[in-house]
Amino acid sequence: MIQSAEINLEDFAISPDHGFLPGGLPLQQLPSSYYAPWENLAVRLPTLIQTGEIRSLVDNLPILTTEWLQTEPEWRRAYSILGFLTHAYIWGGEKPQDILPPCISRPLLEISAHLGLPPCATYAALTLWNYTTVPEADITEPDNLSLLTSFTGTKDEEWFIVISVAIEAKGARIISLMLDAIAAAAANDIPRLTALLYRFTDILEDLNSTLRRMYEKNQPDVFFHQLRPFLAGSKNMSAAGLPNGVYYDIGEGKGDWHQYSGGSNAQSSLIQTFDIFLGVNHSATGDVKPAGTGYIQEMRKYMPAPHRNFLKTLSAISNIREYILSSPTEQALKESYNAAVLSLSSFRDTHIQIVSRYIIKPARNGVPLKNEKVNLATASTQMKGLDDKNATGLYGTGGTSLIPFLKQTRDDTKAATC
């Protein structure tokens, strides 16, 4: 049996200061000029998408090898750029393009295998490895952060992403706190466990207040119409024009069809640790998944391999809920646990409101709902009459039918109180 005290966060590519974000800042540019053809497209991406030049410029890229990538930060930077170029290539035209050329497919398949990630624009490519700041700045403050690569070049896109970066940075200290709490439960130290659960609640409330800042600089219409199309994946995308997914052409007549979920914060390891730690059981599968394989679980495949391994280890040692349930007379302890669970469910409430403003409302595009009071519950059904373009807005980038799914994750969380 692994003990929480034996866990060395650095073995899981977790930084004591930055959590699931890299220890230093993400690398801004690949140092070898060999990769200049990639960097030159990445830096001009918003313009190249707007002018419609992106596909032909990608088609003209040389097929570069990965042999000049040396350090892990270099592999991550390469993954991030190619993730952006992949989605810009697929979605950056009138119709989606379902063949990815060898100049992207070949290196991207190698790089993603090296990192233990799928070959597309995941949360790691778009968020964890895609920000910068000035030296010594506080990265828990979104105003101090900026993006390395962007689809639209808008402040809205930047804010959308840096809110998540700031949340990851603020959450860094909760990781060792959770391990301490697990150790406290194992040692039967009830006062310490109670205090740690209240600290956990305070941090989650702080994360929730950062999440609420989404509205400050990200306008729903810009997010929905300009950015969101580029976050889409290639799975369950028939209505959008990708019935078979995307063919990753590796040249010499070889290649394969692939289907991947789009980028999503469901791929944030940090947020998944909260459910594991508190013992929240997610029954939600999302309506597109085969029974038994939950979407939340599936999203772990979209996390860097060491982070995925951390979640597995955390699940193996997680003991808090069991401990609380086996201590029925410890009222104060139980209250501290319930406060922690409710703070997570309140984080999910804030998120559902965001989804309503940033997806449901722009997708409705002025179409009134029959009963405003129940709009979140009924929006999906009532909007079936809308055209395909808007109807795809009703699904998460991961292909889940979003409102029922998100309500379920919120309700599953609440149901964990005892």
Ligand X SMILES: N[C@@H](CC(=O)c1ccccc1NC=O)C(=O)O
Near ligand HEM by CB under 6 A, which window of 65-73, 160-168, 335-343, 385-393?
160-168
Site stretch for ligand HEM (CB under 6 A), options 22-30, 180-188, 376-384, 391-399: 391-399
Q: Does 265 bind ligand X (CB under 6 A)?
A: yes
Minimum distance between the CB of residue 294 and ligand X, rounded to whole angstroms? Answer: 16
Q: Where are the alpha helices (DSSP H) in 257-401?
A: 269-278, 295-298, 305-317, 320-325, 331-355, 361-364, 375-382, 388-391
For residue 123, the minimal CB distance to ligand X (Å) is: 5
Q: Which is nearer to ligand X, 401 or 417 (CB)?
A: 401
Q: Confirm or reject binding of residue 396 to ligand X (CB under 6 A).
A: yes
Query: Rounded to an integer, what distance in angstroms lies between the CA atom of residue 117 and that of residue 109?
Result: 9
Shortest distance in whole angstroms from residue 402 CB to ligand X: 7
211 touches, from ligand HEM, ligand X, none (C-beta below 5 to 8 Å by class): ligand HEM
Residue type, 282: H
Instruction: Give the residue, chosen from 152, 164, 269, 285, that forms a contact with ligand HEM under the rule CB under 6 A.
Output: 164
Residue 297, token pair as written in the block: 């679980």
Cα 46 from chain centre: 22
Residue at 357: amino acid letter? R
State which H helix or E strand residue 254 sits in: strand 254-258
Provide the 3-class DSSP secondary structure of residue 250. strand
Closer of 235 and 334 to ligand HEM (Cβ):
235
Residue whose CB is less far from ligand X, 178 or 231: 231
Asked if 360 touches ligand HEM (CB under 6 A), the answer is no
Query: What residues form DSSP beta bridges with 212?
Result: none
Residue 263 interface partner, choices ligand HEM, ligand X, none, CB cut-off 5-8 Å depending on type: ligand X
Four-CA torsion 87, 360, 300, 408, nearest 10 degrees:
-170
Q: Does 79 bind ligand HEM (CB under 6 A)?
A: no
To the nearest whole angstrom, how small is the minimum distance from the Cβ of residue 59 to ligand X?
Answer: 26
Whole-angstrom distance, CA of residue 298 vs CA of residue 284? 12
SS3 for 75-107, per residue?
HHHHHHHHHHHHHHHHHCCCCCCCEECHHHHHH
User: Which of 190, 355, 386, 391 lies at the binding interface for ligand HEM (CB under 6 A)?
Assistant: 355
Per-residue binding string, ligand HEM, 276-315, x by CB under 6 A, is ----------------------------------------
Number of CB atoms found within 10 A of residue 173's CB: 14
Q: Which is nearer to ligand X, 75 or 151 (CB)?
A: 151
Q: Which stretch binds ligand HEM (CB under 6 A): 44-52, 53-61, 99-107, 396-404?
A: 396-404
Phi, psi of 319 (to 5 degrees): -135, 0
Select from 43-51, 244-252, 258-266, 310-318 the region that touches ligand HEM (CB under 6 A). 258-266
C-alpha triplet 309, 259, 359: angle, nearest 5° = 90
**Which stretch, 42-50, 260-268, 320-328, 329-337, contacts ligand X (CB under 6 A)?**
260-268
Rounded Cα–Cα distance for residues 286 and 200 (Å): 28
Which SS3 state, helix, strand or coil, does residue 287 take?
coil
Token pair belonging to 87: 């989605």
For residue 127, state whether it binds ligand X (rule: CB under 6 A).
yes
Q: At what angle do helices 375-382 and 402-414 cross, to 10 degrees?
A: 150
Shortest Å, Cβ 201 to ligand HEM: 17
**Start-to-end CA span in the chain (Å):** 27
Instruction: Give the residues lining the site for ligand X (CB under 6 A).
Output: 123, 126-127, 160-161, 164, 228, 231, 263-265, 396-397
Instruction: Give the residues lining the site for ligand HEM (CB under 6 A).
Output: 160, 163-164, 167, 211, 214, 223, 264-266, 268, 271, 348, 351, 354-355, 358-359, 396-398, 400, 402, 405-406, 409
